[in-house]
């Protein structure tokens, strides 16, 4: 993971969105996160997986990034193999494997992250909490347009 002040925090947030995930039962309704890698490659392919989701927790001096999963008893070893395969697939060159990262996936994750950011900031409470966090970390308010531009600039 990365500290909240890192310039690469937007790249890591995009990766978290790209990996996504969910549970075998989703309270968000049909279609929620259905294009994320963990949803399509793990939950849809392995009926013994109950949940699989990427997480990112950023602190002032460090961070924690990973994948959390739950599966049927006796399948923990297979679950680890599946999660490692998904992380390894992110390093493959396009054209070398069907699981290699595609530009359309990255663009979708960037769009989803920007949409989520903008929708969350429609809440006054979230906006105030975000303002407080930004002032603590950066000493100023970071304009939402700057955040969106940093997300869009990712390749």
Contact 32, 26 (CB under 8 A): yes
Is the dihedral angle over the CA atoms 53, 10, 124, 130 positive or is it negative?
A: positive
Specify the pTM.
0.84
Separation CA 1–CA 117 (nearest Å): 20
Q: Could you tell me which residues come within 8 angstroms of residue 67 by beta carbon, excluding any fewer than 6 positions away?
A: 19, 21, 38, 52, 53, 54, 55, 83, 86, 87
Does 95 have pLDDT greater than 60? yes
Assign 2 a pLDDT band (cuts: 50, 70, 90).
very high
145 within domain boundaries: yes
111 within domain boundaries: yes
Domain count, the chain: 1
Separation CA 14–CA 106 (nearest Å): 8
32 within domain boundaries: yes
44 within domain boundaries: yes
Contact 51, 24 (CB under 8 A): yes
Contact 57, 1 (CB under 8 A): yes
80 within domain boundaries: yes
3 within domain boundaries: no
CATH code of the domain covering residue 51: 3.30.830.10
What number of residues does the chain have? Answer: 155
Quote the domain boundaries for residue 148. 9-152
10, 13, 91, 94 from 140: Cα distances, Å: 18, 21, 36, 40
Assign 155 a pLDDT band (cuts: 50, 70, 90).
confident
84 within domain boundaries: yes
């Amino acid at each position: 993971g990365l500290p909240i002040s890192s310039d690469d925090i937007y790249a890591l947030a995009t990766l978290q969105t790209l990996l996504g995930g969910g549970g075998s039962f989703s309270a968000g309704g049909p279609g929620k996160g259905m294009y994320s890698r963990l949803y399509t490659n793990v939950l849809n392919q392995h009926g013994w997986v109950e949940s699989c989701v990427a997480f990112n927790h950023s602190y002032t001096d460090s961070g924690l990034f990973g994948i959390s999963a739950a599966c049927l008893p006796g399948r923990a070893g297979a679950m680890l193999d599946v999660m490692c395969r998904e992380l390894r697939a992110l390093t493959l060159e396009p054209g070398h494997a069907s699981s290699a990262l595609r530009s359309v996936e990255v663009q979708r994750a960037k769009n989803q992250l920007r949409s989520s950011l903008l929708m969350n900031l429609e809440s006054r409470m979230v906006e105030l909490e975000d303002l407080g966090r930004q002032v603590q970390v950066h000493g100023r308010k970071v304009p939402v347009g700057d955040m969106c531009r940093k997300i869009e600039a990712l390749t």
